[in-house]
Amino acid sequence: MHRLVFRLPEMDEQPAPIVIVVLGPPGAGKGTQSSLLANLLRIPHISIGNLLRWHARDESEVGVRLRGMMALGQLVPDTLVLDVLATRMSEPDCTRGLILDGFPRTLKQAELLERGLLKSPFYANNLGENLVALHLRVQQDTIVGRLSGRRICSRCSATYHLESQPPRVTGECDFDGSALTIREDDRKATVLKRLQIYERETAPILSHYVDKASLLEVDGEQSKENIAQEIVTAIQGILRASIAGAKNIQSTLEDNL
Ligand code: AP5
Ligand code: MG
């Protein structure tokens, strides 16, 4: 039986850390926005896709299986996802909060996350304020354009786009100079398959979050800077309204804006 482990601060040490889950179809900009928000909020960006891709490089039986499933755009079994995620979430940097990019992707995963959070008195008292679900809405045409132009760094996974976010030197990562590559699952047929899976498995989570969390609906067609600004403003509003406060994050935001 899997469970998600949270390292939490002592009760009177700081307010409840915020957990932001970023939802949206492939290419919606989940990774792009999570990375911007992580810098602003100074909380870790946990991309399940990146963690799984890292494990998929392995030549072990699990690595080969993972590669196959991900290349076809299929969801990876929960046992594997939860193993990888629980390991990362038990690291000390998660005590101030975290951004989950790509998890949950099914109602079952959403329930597992809540069950993990509700074990803590921090969340049991006000899950609605401290669990924020962010939904990036984009049209299918936009998705296809974004994913066909996407390039990622083979070493650090930094994301680029041939038109909207080109690297300084063609084909090389700005941060470490490594070669930029095309993700195996960004081929058009696989993108369409991923979209179908998103509609069937993940989209139903949105109505679930209307009851269980603060759901932020964001127009993902705007420039990435405008989207980030809209999200930050909305999160500030939620934090102000929160009974617990989350002063650390609030002051970090104010310092950075
Ligand atoms: P994952 O890596 O999470 O893929 P995804 O959900 O399909 O999303 P993408 O990473 O493709 O898109 P994104 O929304 O992050 O967009 P990005 O910011 O890069 O998952 C991959 C696979 O792992 C899954 O298919 C599955 O196999 C497995 N998996 C993952 N989680 C799982 C789970 N919980 N359970 C089971 N299996 C799981 O942006 C895209 C492009 O657009 C970039 O080039 C970017 O520069 C550009 N861009 C972004 N924003 C803008 C903007 N506002 N304007 C213009 N361009 C923009
Ligand atoms: Mg991504």
Using CA atoms, how far residue 43 sits from 23, 189, 212, in Å, is 18, 35, 22
Closest ligand 1 atom to 69 CA: 27
125-168 per-position pLDDT tens digit: 777 778 999 999 999 999 999 999 999 999 999 999 999 999 99
Task: Please tell me whether the peptide bond between 104 and the residue prior to it is cis, using omega within 30 degrees of 0.
Answer: yes
Residue nearest to atom 20 of ligand 1 (CA): 49
Q: What is the mean pLDDT of residues 168-174?
A: 97
pLDDT confidence of residue 243: 39
Q: Is 256 in the pocket of ligand 1 (CB under 6 A)?
A: no
Find the 13 Cα to ligand 2 centroid distance in Å: 33
Q: What 3 state SS string does 197-214 have?
A: HHHHHHCHHHHHHHHHCE
Confidence at 13, pLDDT banded by 50, 70, 90 = very low
Task: Report if pTM > 0.85.
Answer: yes
Residue 244 pLDDT? 42
Checking if the pLDDT of 245 tops 50, the result is: no
105 catalytic? Reply is yes
Question: Who has greater pLDDT, 209 or 239?
Answer: 209
Question: Out of 81-95, 119-133, 146-160, 241-255, which region has the weakest mean confidence (pLDDT)?
Answer: 241-255
Out of 53, 96, 150, 151, which one is annotated catalytic? 150
